[in-house]
Amino acid sequence: MTNFLKKKKCDNPEEVIKYQNSLIELDKIAKMLIKRDLALTDSKEKLIKEKGKVDAVINSLTDGLIMIDLEQKIILINPKAQSILNVTKEEKLIGKVLPELVNFPHIKELYEVLTKTEGHCREKQCELILKELIEKIYEMQTTLVVTETQEIIGTLIILHDVTRERLINKMKSEFITIAAHQLRTPLTGIKWSLEMINTNVITEEEKKEFLDKAYQSNERMIKLVNSLLIVSRLEEGRFVYKFSEIQIENLIQEIIENFKIQIKNKAIGCVFSKPKIPLSKIKADLEKIQIVLENLIDNAIKYTPQNGKIIISLKENNNKIEVSIKDSGMGISKENRERLFTKFFRSAEALKIETSGSGLGLFIAKNIIEAHKGQIWMKSKEGRGSTFYFTLPIN
Amino acid sequence: MANKTKILIVEDDLFLRRLCQKKLEKEGFEVILAEDGREGIKQAKKTSPDLILLDIILPNIDGFEVLKILKDEVSTKLIPIILLSNLGQKEDINKGLALGASDYLIKAHFSPQEIVDKIKEVLKK
């Protein structure tokens, strides 16, 4: 082009200027074009980058995300949604119509929930329950996808796992039901005996009996409230530990002394076998370990029959102290052993002997021992007794 | 004395059972006691009581189950049963009434006298 212009420029000076101007003009345009081209490439790269970012966000969402168009064709599904709906990555779901995917049981269920109320285009929140090994519950939020020009292009479905929340709620309400029941029972005893005493329909002897029992009910109530408070503090993690050096054999000796009357009343032979040389001191929360020992020894006395035997032993090895409390009660059946340390559980065997227990003692003991990095377990022979063990580390 | 009204109390708590028994005896009822579900069913069949006071949380067979069994059995299905429990959730009450209980009383909300009044009321029907 320049050659052509050069050739021309000799003929006419006016033309030369004209051409020169054109040349400048063209140069400008060329530069602009190059610039625009560069900018375009740049924004294309930027766009790809942006899309990558959005994809990454969608792919790493912890909620399942599915978008369908107006024909119910899947146009977007993130990995979380695929895993929720139990479909592998290899399944090409994009472009397929929801109602046709009935081969996938979870997608079928999703579609059923989606269409249950007046078509899929309504914005709503409902629940999707998927039956798996453990039932999974999802909150399903559907939202219309609307463009800037107010055009509806599809529906966005968000699946949020609420299985755990639901479980906690259920446990909470179960706790309240059982706690209310356990608290009402001793209260009923107190109420009924007070009325019986007050209405004067009973003999002096009966009056004394009922007063005695009412007193015991009240004691039971106080113990239960204390246990419930301990449990609630344990569960909130507010069970502050005050560690001190403990000589555990002295503590056990003291507790046995406190149970002297109960042991004597049932004519139980209680043996405390401790090693001849003093055990190492342990660093533990005295008050809490006392609760554990009291619970275990109280149980042993409660479930050992008249003239039975209790053996409390101590061992030290592998840098820990092991305490065992063996009773000669009725033992615990295999099926009940697993649930023994869970909250409010009471074995059928225990219920037969004592219906008034709270079902909290072993749960509390387990929590305290585990907070001390120890272990608690039991062995039992049906009809012949149980032995409860726990260990506490030496520092 | 042979035609005293017979009441079967199925209650696992020793103290509550004793109090209830005393009150009903003072009121002139004949009282039969059972301390768990299995014993409750056995006594209901054996003694054909005029009314059963039935607790829900019981060793071996729970009160709902006992209620169901007794209402399914020809010889016991006409015996009025009053559930007397400290479970007080709406679902428990509805479940009990749906299974055929004549009434549902929350122990802690009723005094022995009020329980007797309820028994008399149900027996009149």
Q: Per-residue pLDDT tens for A170-184? A: 877 777 777 788 889
Question: Nearest 10 degrees: CA dihedral of A161, A162, A164, A170?
Answer: -160
Q: Which residues contact B110 (CB under 8 A, 6 or more apart)?
A: B84, B118
Q: Which structure tokens are listed for B39? A: 């014993």
Pairwise CB contact (< 8 Å): A189 & B15: yes
Q: Identify whether the C-beta of residue A350 lies closer than 8 Å to the C-beta of residue A357.
A: yes
Given the DSSP bridges, would you call strands A243-246 and A269-273 parallel, antiparallel or unpaired?
Answer: unpaired
Taking only the tens of pLDDT, chain B with its 125 residues reads 457 899 999 998 888 999 999 999 999 999 999 998 999 999 999 999 999 999 998 878 889 999 999 999 999 999 999 999 998 888 899 999 999 999 999 999 999 999 999 999 999 98
In angstroms, rounded to a whole number, what is the distance separating the alpha carbons of residues A155 and A145? 5
Residues of B in contact with A351 (CB under 8 A): 12, 59
Could you give the strand order of the β-sheet that contains A136-146, starting from the edge strand earlier in sequence?
Answer: A74-77, A64-69, A152-161, A136-146, A124-130
Query: How high is the pLDDT of residue A18?
Result: 86
Pairwise CB contact (< 8 Å): A195 & B20: no
Query: Looking at residue A76, what DSSP letter applies?
Result: E
Q: Does B59 touch chain A (CB under 8 A)?
A: yes
**A388: helix, coil or strand?**
strand
In angstroms, rounded to a whole number, what is the distance separating the alpha carbons of residues B55 and B40? 10
Given the DSSP bridges, would you call strands B81-85 and B51-54 parallel, antiparallel or unpaired?
Answer: parallel
Q: Identify whether the C-beta of residue A75 lies closer than 8 Å to the C-beta of residue A69.
A: yes
Domain layout of chain B by residue ranges: 35-91+100-112
Query: Looking at residue B86, what DSSP letter applies?
Result: S
Query: How high is the pLDDT of residue A121?
Result: 45
Q: Which residues contact A377 (CB under 8 A, 6 or more apart)?
A: A388, A389, A390
In angstroms, rounded to a whole number, what is the distance separating the alpha carbons of residues A140 and A142? 6
Q: Identify whether the C-beta of residue A298 lies closer than 8 Å to the C-beta of residue A361.
A: yes
Fold annotation for B35-91+100-112 = Rossmann fold (3.40.50)
Q: Does A116 touch chain B (CB under 8 A)?
A: no
Query: How high is the pLDDT of residue A346?
Result: 74
Residues of A in contact with B59 (CB under 8 A): 348, 351-352, 355
In angstroms, rounded to a whole number, what is the distance separating the alpha carbons of residues A306 and A350? 16
Q: Which structure tokens are listed for B25? A: 């005896």
Which mean pLDDT values do the consecutive 10-residue runs of chain A (395 residues) have? 50 82 89 88 86 88 92 90 86 85 86 71 76 86 90 91 86 77 89 89 89 90 87 75 90 94 94 90 92 94 93 93 94 85 77 71 92 93 92 90
In angstroms, rounded to a whole number, what is the distance separating the alpha carbons of residues B70 and B51? 12
Q: Per-residue pLDDT tens for A160-217? A: 999 888 888 887 777 777 778 888 989 999 999 999 999 877 899 999 999 998 998 8
Question: Alpha-carbon Rg of chain B, whole angstroms?
Answer: 13
In angstroms, rounded to a whole number, what is the distance separating the alpha carbons of residues A328 and A311? 9
In angstroms, rounded to a whole number, what is the distance separating the alpha carbons of residues A326 and A324? 6
Q: Which structure tokens are listed for A134? A: 């453990």
